[in-house]
């Protein structure tokens, strides 16, 4: 007796395609068209694009990578949050030259609407800097970031990061004492959202009351 043929389930037919849009800081432009199984499982999915994919401007924008994360899906549109900005590896390699100093500085900073980011600054000089001058450059960077970022909301900060405003502010402050060949935010990573911060503050408040 012949066996009954098993039906092969076509998983692709069960999926739906949704438009993925960037956050408000990028005017909700479309950044992708992806298949999802269901709205809930799509949350947390990561998409990587370049700044050029968003702005369609200068080809040099290809050297900046931006990572978004799907936050929620409404009908056929997936909304995202900004997750990370970083230099491409190729761009980073092209910046390094012999005979110059490479100075890094890392800081965690909070926007005025309670998003916390980890910023890694990269500065490159024309000549070697001694330890004292490198420390001075880090202090200048720290001062600029701590004075500007807490005054910005999430959208303003993302724009200032991706469009080079923070880079320009650091360069302007540093050039008075140190000649730099390049300064920029090598990597910016979201480490705490406003909602997570609120939950954390509420938890701390309850603990304080119980104590």
The token duo for 5 is 């043929």
pLDDT of 22 over the 70 cut:
yes
In terms of pLDDT, which residue wins out, 208 or 63?
Answer: 63
CA pair distance 37, 32, nearest whole angstrom: 16
**In this model, does residue 206 exceed pLDDT 80?**
no
Give residue 61's pLDDT: 92
Chain-wide mean pLDDT for the chain?
Answer: 87
206: Cβ contacts below 8 Å, ≥ 6 apart: none
pTM: 0.83
Secondary structure element (H or E) that encloses residue 19, with its range: strand 16-21
Residue 68 has pLDDT above 60, yes or no: yes
Q: Are 122 and 162 in contact (CB under 8 A)?
A: no
Task: Give φ, ψ of 41 to 5 degrees.
Answer: -70, -20
Q: What is the pLDDT of residues 86-118, one digit of tens each?
A: 999 999 999 988 888 999 999 999 999 999 999
Q: What angle do CA 117, 192, 67 make, to 5 degrees?
A: 65
**76-93 per-position pLDDT tens digit:** 899 999 999 999 999 999
pLDDT in tens, 2-11: 565 565 555 6
Token match 């807490």: residue? 150
> What pLDDT is recorded for position 5?
55
Q: Identify which has the larger pLDDT, 200 or 128.
A: 128
185 is written with which tokens? 């935010």
């Amino acid at each position: 007796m012949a066996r009954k043929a098993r039906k092969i389930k076509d998983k692709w037919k069960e999926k739906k395609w949704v438009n993925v849009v960037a956050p408000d800081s990028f005017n909700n432009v479309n950044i992708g068209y992806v298949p999802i199984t269901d709205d809930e499982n799509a949350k947390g999915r990561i998409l990587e694009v370049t700044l050029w994919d968003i702005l369609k401007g200068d080809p040099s924008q290809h050297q900046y990578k931006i990572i978004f994360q799907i936050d929620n899906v409404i009908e056929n549109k997936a909304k995202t949050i900004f997750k990370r900005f970083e230099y491409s590896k190729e761009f980073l390699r092209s910046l390094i030259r012999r005979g110059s100093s490479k100075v890094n500085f890392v800081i965690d900073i909070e926007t005025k609407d309670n998003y916390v980011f980890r910023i890694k600054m990269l500065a490159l000089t024309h000549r070697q800097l001694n330890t004292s001058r490198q420390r001075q450059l880090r202090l200048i960077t720290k001062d600029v970031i701590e004075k500007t970022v807490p005054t910005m909301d999430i959208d303003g900060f993302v724009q200032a990061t991706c469009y080079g405003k923070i880079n320009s502010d650091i360069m302007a402050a540093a050039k008075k004492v140190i000649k730099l060949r390049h300064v920029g935010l090598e990597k910016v990573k979201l480490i705490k959202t406003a909602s997570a911060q609120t939950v954390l503050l509420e938890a701390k408040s309850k603990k304080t009351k119980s104590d």
